[in-house]
Chains A and B, each alone.
Chain A
Amino acid sequence: DGGITQSPKYLFRKEGQNVTLSCEQNLNHDAMYWYRQDPGQGLRLIYYSQIVNDFQKGDIAEGYSVSREKKESFPLTVTSAQKNPTAFYLCASSPGLAGGPRADTQYFGPGTRLTVL
C-alpha cells in the first residue's frame, strides 16, 4: 500500500450521523484523492487535492466534505446528507496530478469499508 494508511478499516454508522475517514501518506506526494467503489462499478472520484489548502470536487462530491491542512493528511467526512453512503472508500496519492502529462502513478491505501446501519 506504498506508504498510505487509512483508518479505520471497517466503520459502522447510524443514519443521521457524520463520520470522518482518515487518510495519511508519507510519500511526500502533492496530490491526494478520495474514491468510492461500489460492486460492479468503476471507481468514482469524490474529491481531490493538488496542494495544501486547496481541493476540488470530483464527480460525486454531494454529501461529502474534505480538508487539506497538511500535505500528508486528507480526511474525508461523510455527512448525513449522503443518502447512500455504504461503500468501500479508497484514498490515493500521486507526486503530481494523475492523468496529467507526466502520467504520475496513483498509490492507494488499503481502504475503509463504511456500512450504514
Chain B
Amino acid sequence: KNQVEQSPQSLIILEGKNCTLQCNYTVSPFSNLRWYKQDTGRGPVSLTIMTFSENTKSNGRYTATLDADTKQSSLHITASQLSDSASYICVVSMDSNYQLIWGAGTKLIIKP
C-alpha cells in the first residue's frame, strides 16, 4: 500500500534550537517528494521539492534531504524562530498516475 509516515507527530523546541522532522514512504513508483508548511487555520505553502536524483535542497533555514534507496526524507530547521511554529507535511507523487500521497504532518511548536 502506498503510504507516507511522518514522525514525530508533534515536537516542542526552544527558540533558536535546531530540529529535524522525518518522512518515510512506501510509494512506488516514485516521482518526487515535497515538503509543505501549514500555519494553523491556513492552507499549506510549498517549501521544497526533490526528484529521484536530488538528495538535498535548501530554502533559507529549511534543508530537506532525500534518500531514495531507503525511501526516507528529512526536513532540518536551523536556528528556529517563533514563526516556524506550524505543521510540516510531506507529500510524495507517484510516477505512474501522478497521484499525490499526503502524510499526516508533524506539528512543531517553538517556545520562547
Contacts and interface: CB of A to CB of B under 8 A. Distances in A.
Interface of A: 1, 4, 40-45, 88, 90, 92, 97-101, 103, 105-106, 108-111, 113
A45 B41 CA distance: 18
B interface, over-half SS: strand
A99 B31 contact: yes
B94 interface: yes
B42 A103 contact: no
Interface string B74-107: 0000000000000001000110001111111100
Query: What 9 A-B pairs are tightest by C-beta distance, nearest first?
Result: A108-B43, A42-B102, A99-B98, A99-B93, A43-B102, A100-B98, A99-B100, A42-B104, A105-B46
Nearest to B42: A110
B66 interface: no
Contacts, number: 57
B49 interface: yes
B51 interface: yes
Nearest to A109: B43
Contact of B45 (A43, A44, A108): A108
Contacts of B101: 42
Contacts of B102: 42-44
Contact of A90 (B43, B93, B100): B43
Nearest to B33: A103
Contacts of A109: 43
Contacts of A1: 42-43
Nearest to B101: A42
B103 A42 contact: yes
B44 A108 contact: yes
A49 B46 CA distance: 20
A40 B9 CA distance: 8
Contacts of A41: 104
Given A98-B100, A99-B32, A108-B44, 11 more contacts: A42-B103, A42-B104, A43-B102, A90-B43, A90-B44, A98-B93, A99-B94, A99-B99, A103-B31, A108-B43, A111-B42
A1 B39 CA distance: 11
A99 B31 CA distance: 8
